Amino acid sequence: MAAGHHRPVIGVTGPDRGGLAAWWFTRLALWRAGATAVRITPGRPQPLQGLDGLVIGGGADIDPALYGDASSLPQSSLKQQERNLARWLLSLLLFPLIYLARRILSTMTHPPGGDPDRDRLETALLREALQHGLPVLGICRGAQLLNVVCGGSLHRDLADFYVEAPQLRTIWPEKLICIEAGTRLAAILDCSACRVNSLHSHAVNALAPELRFAAREPNGVVQAIEHRRLPFAIGVQWHPEYLPQRHEQQNLFRALAKQARVCMAS
């Protein structure tokens, strides 16, 4: 990073089309944390050199071939779809500003076939960042990619986990998660449990050897992972950028910026 800059520069990945709401909310969160955000997409790539940290953002599903799963994905039941619709409507009423921002700034839905160009870009950036010890925050898809790049796999269908309680899909913090004691995430969030939002359909399955569990739902679904050795390589399954009013969620971006300043100084 060039001399004279006092704010660390953190790359934030996203798709070529859509994803603008996540980008602007992430940019705001990083600005509040004292960092400067730079958007990275397949059409506008950015080398890791010159960056002090990396956020792998949410978005389209990761290509199953990257973790050795070529099976077809079962369709969700009509009952589950009705539950998801009800939760979506509730979120619309409770959190209208963020919902409207996502709708206005999104130009397309995630393609069912995934985003292979983004897979390639983020895989290369993530591997290089981990190799050089740059701080990394993976959000939703980014948490899943962190596990895949380090050698783990994903659940592509979570229906079996939500037999007694519905699978939430909401931008409002309704999902209860339990933080693993002694993890970096526990120190950052400064709590043993909290409520988060939920916009994902996949989740971590087999955990990569270099990683450890950092948070789960009561039913066992993994909600956060972190690197065992590196000072800051954390993946969260929820979207902290859409929870600007929650102090513990802003702490994630503060911790990322703090570690990025360490990298900037070195």
Residues carrying an active site annotation: 140, 239, 241
CB 51 within 8 A of CB 58: no
Count CA within 13 A, CB hemisphere, residue 203.
22
Q: Which residues of 38-61 are buried (b: 16+ CB within 10 A; e: fewer)?
A: bbbbbeeebebeebbbbbbbbbbb
Report residue 201 as tokens: 């359909």
Q: Give me the phi and psi of 223, to 5 degrees please.
A: -115, -10
Alpha-carbon gap, residue 131 to 140, rounded angstroms: 22
DSSP tally for the chain: helices H, then strands E: 7, 11
Angular region, 200: left φ>0, alpha ψ -120 to 50, beta rest: beta
Residue carrying structure tokens 């933080």: 179
Q: Is 217 helix (H, G, I), strand (E, B) or coil?
A: coil
Q: Is 207 helix (H, G, I), strand (E, B) or coil?
A: coil
